[in-house]
Chains A and B, each alone.
Chain A
Amino acid sequence: MSYLELKNATKHFGKLAALEDIDLRVEEGEILGIVGPNGSGKTTLINIVSGYYRPTRGEIFFNGKKISGLRPDQIAARGIIRTFQSNVLYEGATVVESMLISSYQQYRTNHWQSFFETRAWKDENERVVGRVIELIKLLDLLNDTFLPAEGLSHGYQRMLGIAMAMIAKPSLLLLDEPTTGMNHEEAMFVVDKIKKISEQGVTVILIEHNMKVLLDVATRVVVLNFGNKIAEGRPEEVMNQQEVIEAYLGTETI
């Protein structure tokens, strides 16, 4: 059994089929790219895996255990962490505060130990703060550590989103268009960081609008169109398939 497996996953909004019978397997350690034009169901796919929506039909398995139907926090506790397409932040918190709030799953000690400030908690807290600083450095947020998160520029807010997901202890990271609103140079910077994240032993599912970004980073690509999977394979192969080109550019009608 694969690391993450979707069986006939379907999501309907009323009569609209956002996802139709999607079968998907993700292996441990890979960077899977998911592409598709607007409205093809990419974000819905992340939403049903992370528990934001329940699938209308079908099942999702993670590590051999069924996760469809669980609450988002239960799914997060199993190690599936997502980012959001828009900049979803803790408004009013600074960068480091946001990171500390997000570090929730890093702790093994319980709330009582934290309340009474036991030795074990202090040690663990020190370790977590170390990890926070490590991630702040990795994602280039060091200069903004004590600034309010909503005051950062768009690009840095995207980076903070990834940093917050990383401190939430993912074993599978779902990135929803991390390079949205960035130029090619900035996007390549993000790609570089995603590679580094993958090297830390995190499996990544990367949703991307921009095919060029995926070429560089993804080990495998899945193409969605109108809620259906239309292609799957290595990025270079998939990009040249007739169906994919049609989905992006439309059919020749002349």
Chain B
Amino acid sequence: MMPFLDYKNVVPKTVIGLLVALIVILPVFTTNVITLSIFISSGIWAIAAMGFTLVLRTGQFSLGQGAFMALGGYTSAILTVKLGMPFWPSFFLAGIVSGIVALLVGSVVLRVGGTYFSIITLALAEVVRIIAQQWEPVTRGTRGLITSPPDPIVLGGLEINFATSTVPYFYFTVCLVAITALIFWQIGESRLGRSFAGIALNPVLAEHQGMHLMRYRVIAFTVAGVFTGFAGCLYAHFLTVITPYMLGLWQSIQIMIMSIVGGISSLAGGPIIGAILLYTFGIYLSRLEIYGIQQLLFGAAVVLVLLFLPKGTGLVDLWERFWRKVVWREEEYEPDTPDD
């Protein structure tokens, strides 16, 4: 007898695995800076979008995730440029500083939660930008800080030099995305994910079942802050510059759009798909040189996703539906309506 093979589960996963593998071995086919930097930037935005999704999982809508990217970027830039610290310790400090700010802001602001949280995080994004702009002696104001690429690493005779090639950045980003995705995925699968779902779906009920609302909201916000800080640090060093306008309000909104269009039902997959598609789309749109077209069409993308994909699930759910409907041609499962 044939051993039972759950092909409906295995085949889509294999296809995803092959796609991921294809992206990972991309530098074998091309070392074109433009192609690689699209993927590097997408990866950076994907990490930020994952952070947004994690916070959203606790039922809170953060409109200021760009602030944590700016915090990470500026922390690392100041440490390396002004204090002459090497890249690697400053990379970790960037995440830690960003996480601490998230912890402090979160422990105050998350008490109110809901709309107030969104408004205050929105303000936070602006506050960080204005501080970066006005604190001239440290941040050089609107001129920004010129950062240097990470120091070369020597691994067993092989020198990885970030200054001469984009490939090391590419693999560094792939690793960072993979680690973030793995951690976030595991958070979603663990008891933390259950508690997040509880406090998001019904805070009152969850609280009466023993979940401390503040605790889980702050955990999610802080973890998101740390990884968004890492992303911001990588962003600043990859572009070798950080200015107050690079991570303003629009970038915060962009993170939100990527997360929602990609799909919030998945902590890792959705944000990655959303970031890659929208970033590439955004690059294409910026070539058209029509002012404001990117904002306009990104907004339209959100509206379309929310209108046509039920319950606000994003593109990541289309993948599953594609296999069920188009490939396996399954019938929609309709539960019997209960009779009273």
Contacts and interface: CB of A to CB of B under 8 A. Distances in A.
Interface residues of B, number: 27
Contacts of B338: 144, 151-153, 156
A92 interface: yes
Interface in A179-212: none
A102 B339 contact: no
Interface in A67-94: 71-73, 76-77, 81-82, 84, 88-93
Contacts of B287: none
Contact of A84 (B194, B205, B210, B340): B205
A90 B210 contact: no
B201 A91 contact: yes
Nearest to B212: A73
A150 to B, nearest CB: 10
Given A52-B208, A73-B207, A90-B202, A115 B340 contact: no
B335 interface: yes
Nearest to B208: A72
A71 B195 CA distance: 17
A102 B335 contact: no
A71 B207 CA distance: 8
Contacts of A241: none
B211 A73 contact: yes
A247 interface: no
Interface stretch (B185-193, B236-244, B249-257, B301-309): B185-193
23 contacts: A73-B208, A76-B207, A82-B208, A88-B204, A89-B202, A90-B201, A92-B201, A92-B311, A100-B194, A101-B195, A101-B206, A104-B195, A104-B198, A104-B211, A105-B210, A111-B190, A114-B192, A115-B190, A151-B338, A154-B340, A155-B340, A168-B209, A168-B210
Contact of A76 (B194, B197, B208, B339): B208
A76 B210 contact: yes
A154 B213 CA distance: 28
A165 B207 CA distance: 12
Contacts of B191: 104, 107, 111, 114
Contacts, number: 92
8 cross-chain pairs, A with B, having the tightest CB-CB distances, nearest first: A76-B210, A90-B201, A114-B191, A153-B338, A101-B198, A114-B190, A168-B209, A72-B207
A115 B195 CA distance: 13
Interface of B: 186-187, 190-192, 194-195, 197-198, 201-202, 204-213, 311, 335, 337-340
A31 B139 CA distance: 67
Contact of B194 (A71, A101, A144): A101
A243 B176 CA distance: 72
A40 interface: no
B248 to A, nearest CB: 34
A73 B199 CA distance: 12
A88 B311 CA distance: 20
Interface string A143-167: 0100110011111100000001100
A93 B197 contact: yes
A44 interface: no
Contacts of A84: 205
B145 to A, nearest CB: 36
A50 interface: yes
Nearest to A115: B190
Contacts of B206: 101, 104
Contacts of A155: 340
B205 A90 contact: yes
B212 A93 contact: no
Interface in A102-139: 102-105, 107, 111, 114-115, 117
Nearest to A157: B338
A248 to B, nearest CB: 28
B192 A77 contact: no
A97 B337 CA distance: 20
B192 A93 contact: no
Nearest to B201: A90
Contacts of B205: 84, 88-90, 164
A81 B335 contact: no
Given A73-B212, A101-B198, A164-B205, 19 more contacts: A50-B208, A73-B207, A73-B209, A76-B207, A76-B210, A92-B311, A101-B194, A101-B197, A103-B194, A104-B209, A104-B210, A105-B209, A105-B210, A111-B192, A115-B187, A151-B335, A153-B339, A155-B340, A164-B209
Contacts of A90: 197-198, 201-202, 205
